[in-house]
Chain A
Amino acid sequence: MRNNRDHFHNAFVLHVRPFRNSSQIVELFTEDAGRVGVVARGASRGKSPLSALLQPFTPLQLSWSGRGELHTLGRVEMREMAYRLPGRRSICGLYANELLMRLLHRGDSHSELFRLYHKLLQELSEGGDEAPLLRSFEVRLLEEIGFGFDLQLDCSGLPILPEQHYGYNPEQGIVPLAENGAQQFTVMGKTLQWLRSTELDVERQILREAKQLLRTAIDYHLPVELESRKLIAQYGALS
């Protein structure tokens, strides 16, 4: 990877935090270099055009220089208008950001995941039901980082059947329920089949099962509680 000021990378901002007295540490998700941390000098000085650009959900092109954990941000340009995620959807976007921040290691390249993330933002900004969009992103994210599960065959090697009940065990994968009585929850085979295509038109029951399954899988790999997920739940409690 060339780290010089003339080489531009496609990127999104995942998180910004203040650093020293007028700088920021910016966590980026880039197309060719995965998650990258950069220092933006002077970005939190008043009226800095940088802090207005370094916002989540904005397709950026930027360069950086230097070696080590934290690079120095070079030039930043807006590639396209920022995706506007109204209301609750912005929390969904922040949830995707939190997943990427906590599950990706710095410097591992994930260009397919970058494309999926970009697509998620675009679809969230266009309206419609956010649940299938999030489930689709979660299942592809787990696959991309090597934590995916087989959605064609159960753990004993038999094809997944739509009307059969299954359980999930992080160590074994998808378990036909007859073999494993003490399960926290069950998913129907058709839910697992839906996760292969994740088309938007889907029954609520399938979405509910998919949510629980993916949540269990994510929690297994992430011992910390996701703050944005807590926030989405608190949202639900408001109305």
Chain B
Amino acid sequence: MSLIEELIEALRCLPGVGPKSAQRMTYHLLERDREGGRRIAHGITEAIEHVGNCRSCRTLSESELCPQCIDTRRDDSLLCIVESPMDVLALEQSASYRGRYFVLMGHLSPLDGIGPQELGLDLLEKRLDNGVVEEVILATNPTVEGEATAHFISEMAHARAIRTTRIAHGVPLGGELEYVDSGTLGHAMTGRQDY
């Protein structure tokens, strides 16, 4: 495989990039923007090397604790559970929430071998045990697996007499949080219900 072919093939791992666009990107970088190409290469290498997971909430972070976990103005009594770092981003953009997050990095999926352990629920359990969290907001996706995950976590919270709420309004069934517009998402957060 030539270097050009190799680059085209590599770019295809990006979401939404098919063979045609991968080819266009490759030729664009080589013909017109080699400096841009270098920046991409550097950015990817550095990010892959230095971005890990927040020790407290598991979201992607280059420091031990992410900005949301460090921010002292946030309300420690609210803990919002989401499936992915993109969901944190989406909720932050909706500006409707000032509590803490816990990022599962997935959902319960027995057929993929993803159970409570893989979602860091042991870490979540410790968090719930420290007595600071008063409300767990379940913001997993409204898919079958997302619902099952929400219910499992609600049982963990109820066993410790912690209130749980589930965001509900306006999020379409089977929809994924990161694709919902921030208006809808803000509404969903305000109109959350006991779960």
Bound together, the chains give a CA A52 to CA B176 distance in angstroms of 9
CB distance from B44 to the nearest CB of A (A): 16
Bound together, the chains give a CA A150 to CA B155 distance in angstroms of 40
| Nearest chain A residue, comparing its CB with the CB of B154 | A87
Q: Is the CB of A238 within 8 A of B174?
A: no
Bound together, the chains give a CA A103 to CA B147 distance in angstroms of 26
CB distance from B66 to the nearest CB of A (A): 24
Given contacts A17-B112, A90-B151, A230-B115, contact A55 B176 (CB under 8 A): no
A112: interface (CB < 8 Å): no
With a cutoff of 8 Å between Cβ atoms, the chain B residues found around residue A85 in the complex are 144
Which of A28-36, A93-101, A178-186 has 4 or more CB atoms under 8 Å from chain B? Answer: A93-101
A197: interface (CB < 8 Å): no
Q: Which of A14, A47, A51, A91 contacts B148 (CB 8 A)?
A: A91
Say what secondary structure dominates the interface of chain B: loop
Q: Is the CB of B148 within 8 A of A239?
A: no
A86: interface (CB < 8 Å): yes
With a cutoff of 8 Å between Cβ atoms, the chain B residues found around residue A94 in the complex are 110-111, 144-145, 148
- The B84-125 residues at the A interface (CB cut-off 8 A) are 108, 110-113, 115-116
| Nearest chain B residue, comparing its CB with the CB of A88 | B151
Q: Mark B161-195, 1 if CB is under 8 A from A, else 0.
A: 00000000000111110110000000000000000
Given contacts A94-B110, A227-B115, contact A57 B144 (CB under 8 A): yes
With a cutoff of 8 Å between Cβ atoms, the chain B residues found around residue A145 in the complex are none
Q: Is the CB of B175 within 8 A of A98?
A: no
Q: Is the CB of A90 within 8 A of B115?
A: no
- The A74-119 residues at the B interface (CB cut-off 8 A) are 82, 85-88, 90-91, 93-95, 97-98, 101
Q: Is the CB of A98 within 8 A of B110?
A: yes
Interface contact tally, CB-CB below 8 A: 84
Task: Bin the interface of chain B by size.
Answer: 20 to 34
Q: Is the CB of A235 within 8 A of B12?
A: no
Q: Is the CB of B110 within 8 A of A228?
A: yes
- The A9-52 residues at the B interface (CB cut-off 8 A) are 14-15, 17, 20-22, 45-47, 51-52
A56: interface (CB < 8 Å): yes
Bound together, the chains give a CA A85 to CA B145 distance in angstroms of 11
B159: interface (CB < 8 Å): yes
Q: Is the CB of A21 within 8 A of B12?
A: yes
Bound together, the chains give a CA A90 to CA B116 distance in angstroms of 15
19 contacts between A and B (CB under 8 A): A53-B174, A54-B174, A55-B174, A56-B144, A87-B155, A90-B148, A90-B151, A94-B110, A94-B144, A94-B148, A95-B110, A98-B111, A226-B110, A228-B110, A228-B111, A230-B110, A235-B152, A238-B155, A238-B156
- 11 other A-B residue contacts (CB within 8 Å) besides A45-B16, A231-B152, A234-B116: A15-B111, A20-B12, A52-B174, A85-B144, A87-B148, A88-B151, A91-B108, A98-B110, A231-B116, A234-B115, A238-B156
